[in-house]
């Protein structure tokens, strides 16, 4: 497919943020070009937990039947075990928001958004197309240069370029906007194991001093497991050998030992995740806006990345549609149009990051005194009804915009093919 040389909205990156935004704008009749560097949607070890407010939002946007047709797993709650003792638990059904968090593979979620937009005449999706640089004049972003699969580079003019190209965003770097990138003390290695039939649907955090596992029941019949390691410790871990790594997992959770023995064969069965946060005071320039991980990378704690990306999109779609309707065709959208949007979304991301940092800090405790104090704190919090208020504030923050206002065509979401 040839690249159009001009469009209203150029979205770079077909992850959850970019693909949902492309779909919502195209439904409103706006001309959208969505470019994604990958030629396929396959992505493993990626955000598969969708927080409950996003489930509510996607249902209101008309995606409920497509989600059900694909299938997903509802997460019943979360428990925390420390040095062999259960210290904390939250039952998600006690939050009165009408949905549980769900687990659905990211390719399926993105596929549902793309399928909903695919046949709209004003929507173009180009896979295998990579953003290389911004096109600018007089300090204003006018479009971007895109490299196609065959190596040809094409310049596309747009009234607004949306950088939704994830945690290592090239659009962010090209924009010159300042980003505060803070490495966390730990990195992660993720892997999947078959889920035993009677395992249950609750997420678990299993902690032993400064080591821990996150165990997430995953659709359709997997356990997704994250194993922490000190920052920069991946080389050391590999030097010690795969068997030592496997033994470490089994020591942390003996239930996993037979699964690890039977199903983890080599480092190729694992995925490395470098953990850092990115904070940006400004997300916009004239003609450019960053959303999703590109503007605010969070840590994986509590699985909020996709939720934040979806909330950005739902807030942005009506605002962008209104601005595009103003002015003449070809007018660039100024950065000032996004001041309130950035303030609102920044506040939400900051709340999530503050909580994640507190949690990260508590997970680094290793001395007997520090771990005993940590256990006592979580036990105390567990007994207080307040825990539902504290936890709910972080994971269930309602969307700032009612999704019903975003939805323009109620029944255009096709059922996905698996």
Residues that bind ligand FAD (CB under 6 A): 12-18, 35-38, 45-49, 130-131, 164-167, 170, 190, 273, 292-294, 300, 303-307, 309
Cα gap 105→44, rounded to integer Å? 8
Encoded tokens for 1: 């497919």
Report in angstroms how near the CB of residue 363 gets to ligand FAD at its nearest. Answer: 16
What contacts 24+ positions apart, CB below 8 Å, involve 310-313? 310/16, 310/17, 310/20, 310/50, 310/54, 310/57, 310/58, 311/53, 311/54, 311/57, 311/345, 311/348, 311/399, 311/400, 312/17, 312/345, 313/17, 313/20, 313/21, 313/24
Q: Which is nearer to ligand FAD, 131 or 219 (CB)?
A: 131
143 closest CA partner among 126, 160, 128: 160
Report in angstroms how near the CB of residue 16 gets to ligand FAD at its nearest. Answer: 4
CB 273 within 8 A of CB 295: no
Cα gap 11→164, rounded to integer Å? 7
Q: Which is nearer to ligand FAD, 300 or 371 (CB)?
A: 300
Q: Which is nearer to ligand FAD, 130 or 228 (CB)?
A: 130
Encoded tokens for 397: 């923050």
Report in angstroms how near the CB of residue 45 gets to ligand FAD at its nearest. Answer: 4
Report in angstroms how near the CB of residue 353 gets to ligand FAD at its nearest. Answer: 12
Q: What are the φ and ψ backbone dihedral angles of 219, each rounded to 5 degrees?
A: -70, 140
CB 321 within 8 A of CB 30: yes
Residue keyed to tokens 């003390």: 185
Q: Which is nearer to ligand FAD, 29 or 271 (CB)?
A: 271
Report in angstroms how near the CB of residue 13 gets to ligand FAD at its nearest. Answer: 3
CB 116 within 8 A of CB 110: no
Q: Which is nearer to ligand FAD, 166 or 375 (CB)?
A: 166
Residue keyed to tokens 């103003």: 326
Report in angstroms how near the CB of residue 308 gets to ligand FAD at its nearest. Answer: 7
Q: Which is nearer to ligand FAD, 273 or 400 (CB)?
A: 273
Q: Which is nearer to ligand FAD, 12 or 205 (CB)?
A: 12
Cα gap 11→99, rounded to integer Å? 30
Report in angstroms how near the CB of residue 304 gets to ligand FAD at its nearest. Answer: 5
Q: Which is nearer to ligand FAD, 62 or 303 (CB)?
A: 303
Report in angstroms how near the CB of residue 312 gets to ligand FAD at its nearest. Answer: 8
Cα gap 30→22, rounded to integer Å? 9
């Amino acid at each position: 497919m040839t690249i159009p040389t001009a469009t209203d909205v150029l979205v770079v990156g077909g992850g959850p943020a970019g693909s949902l935004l492309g779909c919502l704008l195209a439904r409103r009749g706006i001309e959208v070009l969505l470019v994604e560097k990958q030629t396929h949607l396959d992505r493993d070890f990626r955000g598969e937990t969708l927080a409950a407010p996003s489930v509510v939002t996607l249902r209101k946007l008309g995606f409920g039947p497509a989600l059900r047709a694909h299938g997903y797993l509802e997460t019943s709650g979360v428990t925390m075990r420390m040095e062999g003792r259960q210290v904390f638990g939250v039952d998600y059904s006690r939050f009165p928001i009408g949905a549980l968090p769900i687990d659905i593979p990211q390719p399926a979620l993105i596929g549902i958004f793309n399928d909903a937009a695919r046949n709209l005449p004003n929507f173009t999706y180009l896979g295998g197309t990579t953003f290389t640089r911004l096109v600018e004049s007089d300090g204003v972003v006018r479009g971007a240069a895109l490299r196609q699969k065959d190596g040809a580079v094409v310049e596309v003019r747009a009234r607004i370029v949306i950088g939704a190209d994830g945690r290592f965003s090239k659009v962010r770097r090209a924009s010159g906007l300042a980003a505060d990138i803070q490495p966390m003390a730990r990195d992660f290695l993720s892997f999947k194991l078959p889920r035993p039939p009677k395992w249950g649907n609750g997420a678990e955090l299993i902690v032993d001093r400064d080591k821990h596992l996150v165990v997430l029941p995953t659709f359709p019949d997997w356990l997704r497991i994250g194993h922490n390691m000190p920052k920069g410790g991946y080389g050391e871990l590999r030097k010690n050998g795969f068997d030592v790594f496997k033994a470490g997992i089994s020591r942390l959770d003996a239930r996993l030992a037979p699964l690890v023995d039977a199903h983890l064969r080599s480092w190729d069965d694992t995925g490395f995740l470098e953990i850092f946060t990115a904070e940006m005071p400004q997300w916009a320039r004239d003609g450019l806006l960053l959303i999703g991980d590109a503007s605010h990378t969070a840590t994986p704690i509590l699985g909020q990345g996709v939720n934040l990306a979806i909330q950005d999109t739902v807030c942005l779609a009506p605002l962008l549609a209104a601005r595009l309707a103003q002015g003449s065709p070809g007018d660039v959208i100024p950065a000032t149009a996004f001041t309130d949007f950035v303030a609102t979304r920044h506040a939400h991301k900051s709340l999530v990051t503050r909580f994640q940092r507190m949690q990260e800090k508590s997970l680094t405790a290793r001395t007997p005194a520090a771990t005993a104090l940590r256990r006592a704190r979580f036990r105390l919090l567990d007994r207080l009804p307040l825990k539902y208020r504290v936890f709910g504030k972080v994971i269930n923050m309602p969307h700032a915009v009612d999704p019903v206002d975003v939805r323009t065509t109620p029944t255009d979401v096709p059922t996905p093919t698996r």
